[in-house]
Amino acid sequence: MSVLTTHRDITLDSAAERLAHDLEQTHFGYVAGAAMANALDVSDDDIARFGGYWDGLTLDRFMGDNGRYRYRRYSALDLEHPGAPCVLRPHTPYEQSTAVNPLNGGLKREFDPVEPGFLSSRVLQRFLQLLGTAYNRLEGIEAPWVVRLHPYRIRADVEALGKPAPEGLHRDGVDFVLTLMLRRHNIRGGESSIATPSGDVIWRHTLRAPLDLLVCNDRRVLHGVTDVERVDPTRSAWRDVLVVAFSRQ
């Protein structure tokens, strides 16, 4: 797998080309945050404003382990083609089968929708354009996508760990899924991993910088994240990421 780090001449098109190549070769791809910011042509202020929406996430009340460590929102969009405006779908409960998600599947989970400013953010709009371009190039077709947005904040407290992936190594039951880092505050842990369908881990890395990106082909590999804990027990601690799932309509 190639790694895009801090190349200042990277563009949205070249980043999409590299992601498509890596997804074809290894079924996953990683882009460091500095390179992603260059590709999206977004500023530190753009990223900070986008990250501010995580302060408004609401408690996930549907955790099968009774955990109260996850805050989130959820919305689904239609993307006709890269560069086209995303069309917000009517807000409905989020559902997964128990086969895909034994912990939280089989329920109609009612989450608050993402905020309007979140959807119109330059970071998100450019990001979805890059992803749609990469996935279409990989598959060699231009066809509409259903895009599901899952902004998460995983909190850690003094007595309990935060669990970004309490189900362990897993699939999400979609075509492509990614994790985009926004902020880590006073935590250790949160190492991401990619594994074969049999569970053999083939790659590990901790997403740390804003816009660090990990993308995987959900049909071909598993993904997981280790628990997070506080560094300083006297201060609050959290991990903010955006998970985006793409499925063909």
pLDDT tens figures, 86-96: 999 999 988 86
- The pLDDT tens digits for 130-178 are 999 999 999 999 899 999 999 999 999 877 899 999 989 999 999 999 9
Q: What are phi and psi of 238, to 5 degrees?
A: -160, 165
CB atoms within 10 A of CB 45: 8
Q: For residues 231-247, give the mean pLDDT.
A: 97
**Among candidate residues 164, 168, 124, the one with its CA nearest the CA of residue 147:** 124
Q: For residues 90-116, give the mean pLDDT.
A: 80
pTM score over 0.85: yes
Strand, helix or coil at 49?
helix
Pair 58, 110: CB distance under 8 Å: no
Q: Does pLDDT of 4 surpass 60? A: no
Domains in the chain with CATH codes: 42-176+224-248 (2.60.120.620)
d(CA 55, CA 25): 37
- The pLDDT tens digits for 22-78 are 999 999 999 999 999 999 999 999 999 999 999 999 999 988 787 899 999 999 999
Contact partners, residue 55, CB within 8 Å, separation at least 6: none
Cα-Cα-Cα-Cα torsion 242, 139, 105, 102, nearest 10 degrees, comes to -100
